[in-house]
Chain A
Amino acid sequence: MEISRHWRLKRQRYALIGEVCPHCKKKIFPPRDICPECSEDARTLYQFSGRGEVYSYTTVFQAPAGYEEHAPYTVALVKLEEGPMLTAQLTDLGDEPVEVGMPVEMVTRKLRSDGEKGMLVYSYKFRPRFKEAVR
């Protein structure tokens, strides 16, 4: 897969760096440069805490090409505590069942490797936040 494409996205993928709109203060992730709320220019970088909760989740059994070796895996819509929602895999689930509303936190993990000599693609995934760690 395309090296530069993933390189361009590494700040958001590795560090959850999005944007905050200087006009209406909306927090934006993934970054998109034009505020979806007020349509003004929004290029001020903002690092998200990585904490959020599960809005919804499911398991992928029939994986797309490139992801088969990881199947089955759990994907989720995660609502970050700062407001935005994102799509990500859940990881380190252990025995605890996933639930809507479950507190989660961001970790960096391998998403896919493109073929035997292909590059590895890393990204944010989310794991359960332990109850005692939940503020």
Chain B
Amino acid sequence: MTMTQDAKTNKDVYIIGVGMTPVGEHWEKSLRELALDAITALQADGVWARPQALYVANMLAPSLSGQTQLAALLADFAGLRGIEAITIEAAGASGGAAARQAYLAITSGVIDVALIVGVEKVTERTSAELEAALSTSSDADHEAVHGITPTAQAALLMRRYLHEYNVPEDAFAGFSLNAHANAVTNPQAIYRRSIRVENYLNAPMVSEPVNLFDAAPLADGAAAILMARSNALPEDLPYPPVRIAASSIVSNTVAIHDRSDPLLLDSVVDSSIQALQQAGLKPEDIDIFELHDRYSIYAALSLEAAGFATRGEGWKLAHDGVIAKDGEIPICTFGGSKARGDTGGATGVYQLAEITLQLQDRAGENQVQGARFGMAQCLAASGATAATHILSRKDGP
């Protein structure tokens, strides 16, 4: 092996372990206890190396739990007092953003092993308090002040989509059906039951045209992943480490109204292109796409912007079964935000943990057979930030 190859190999970064809590209403658990549960689950899986840094992905602790300094708090609570610890906030993209920071720290050579924990505690506040906290992810002076919420923003985009493209009434049903079908066999999922298209069509409107099944449930949860450089991998790993083939984060306008074409998620376009280029892949090489499905319109827009569908046709992939577990581009393989449950800033960490299980052939009933490359992409609100990672089996290119 030449020097250059050796240096490159030693810069490779791997996910070596994952841990998740069930997503749901954990009234008996505090924010810190939930986070520790995810770390404990990771350790119980038989993979551990003491991290030098902890990156915590969280959006809502300052507004809902009155807690900043979350990373320092969790490091101490998890028995890691003294290590470098920092909280990363990028609204719904916090999980991907935290993973990105860990990736940068490890590739820089400064950090060998990093722990990423996404955690969110949302269920003990009133819906008005929760809506107000969620609305802080929009432009406070020019969006939130007008009483707009993330649900209303999704509805504005979906209404325009329905106006511009000729789509049937049940166009978006497939996203919900697929997510629910996949969640049935995921022990961490909040909704472990399948639904039928009639359920979708008869669902009450939340903010027209967004109905109850177009909107993901927001709940408590925590997920952890342990990341390490190739020359710092613990010996005797029980499972093959999963390589991070690409890492990208891109920002765009926070306000929807500042975009020249609101139905084109520019951040998704840019971040997907960056990630695919880094990995040397094309969209058709991706075997699993864990995308942003907080509202079904974002799943359609993400498929289009990431290069899996042409504009105005993202919904067809859900309609025709292309996104199913045995389809050409499976999405939400453990239920996604829609049925596994959305955990705000922690969602991106769940996505990475789930793809890791897929590429280790440990996804059980949820396994996508023969998957080699998985892309995880989480968005902040309506797409002000897109964080994209591509994971690959260790022996991949």
Contacts and interface: CB of A to CB of B under 8 A. Distances in A.
Interface residues of A, number: 34
A55 interface: yes
A56 B160 contact: yes
B267 to A, nearest CB: 15
Nearest to B259: A85
Contacts, number: 101
Contacts of A85: 257-258, 262
A4 interface: no
Interface in B98-150: 126-129, 131-132, 134-135, 139, 141-149
A65 interface: yes
Contacts of A121: 145
Contacts of B147: 60, 63-64, 67, 70, 73, 75, 89, 111-112
A30 B141 contact: yes
Contacts of B128: 62-65, 68
Contacts of A75: 146-148, 152, 156
Given A75-B152, A77-B262, A62 B131 contact: yes
Contact of B206 (A57, A62, A76): A62
Interface of A: 5, 9, 30, 36, 55-68, 70, 73, 75-77, 84-89, 100, 111-112, 121, 123
10 contacts: A9-B141, A58-B152, A59-B208, A63-B147, A65-B126, A65-B128, A65-B131, A73-B147, A77-B257, A87-B257
Given A61-B206, A77-B256, 20 more contacts: A56-B159, A58-B155, A58-B207, A58-B208, A59-B152, A59-B208, A60-B147, A62-B127, A62-B151, A62-B206, A63-B149, A64-B131, A64-B134, A65-B131, A65-B132, A67-B147, A70-B147, A77-B262, A111-B145, A123-B146
